[in-house]
Amino acid sequence: MEQKTAIWTGTAFAIALAIAASALVLYGSDNAGTRTALELTARWSFLLFWLAYAGNAVAILFGPRYLAGHARDFGLAFAAAHLVHIGLIVWLAHILGRAVLPPGLFWFFMAGLFWTYLLAGLSFGGAKALGPVLWRWIRLMGMNYILVAFGRDFVLPVLYPKPAQVNLGHFAFYAPFMVLAIAAPLLVLAAHARRPAAP
């Protein structure tokens, strides 16, 4: 792994670990504290994924060139940081003594993990072996599946909140991420439409 990419992934993992540790220290390592850590690390992972998904599009549309060309770095940083989130899920299952999710949701999110680490693994030379066309389609399917998985977590709680969740704090905790999840493919489509006219 290139030194710069290693620094990105290591830093992303360390930040996720610090977020999780802080939440567990402040709120306890029981069910409630672990769920808080899960919610916070999910948001950190999503921000990294969002930059991998839409960073190039943002650079094309709005001009922050430092975002351009770093999709792989952000993607690997997301994959590294998400390991902490996975570890928290395993810990929560241990605390509860049962599966955290019902079977349908479990396999839905497992498919998201499959795509995450398949894309990460293929980025180390496998993409070149597949060829540009096949790799483009695999990346398109994988990235959009992961986006849908995040969208399920961030969009549905805003559109269909439980009665106990109808409060300003709940919406403030979810709505910005819902907006990002919806905006990501729109930004990519807009950048794709603009790209032929770009110098």
Domain boundaries defined on the chain: 3-197
Site of tokens 């360390």: 14
The whole-angstrom separation of Cα 6 and Cα 47 is 18
DSSP state of 197: G
Classified as helix, coil or strand, 68 is: coil
What pLDDT was estimated at residue 155? 92
**Considering the entire predicted model, what is its pTM?**
0.92
Contacts of residue 35, defined as CB under 8 A and 6 or more positions apart, other chains included, come to 92
Amino acid identity at 125: G
The pLDDT tens digits of the residues spanning 79-112 come to: 999 999 999 999 999 999 999 999 999 999 999 9
Positions in the chain short of pLDDT 70: 1, 195-199
76 vs 1: CA distance, rounded Å: 10
> Which of helix, strand or coil describes residue 59?
helix
User: Containing H/E element for 30?
Assistant: none
3-197: CATH class: mainly alpha
* pLDDT recorded at residue 1: 56
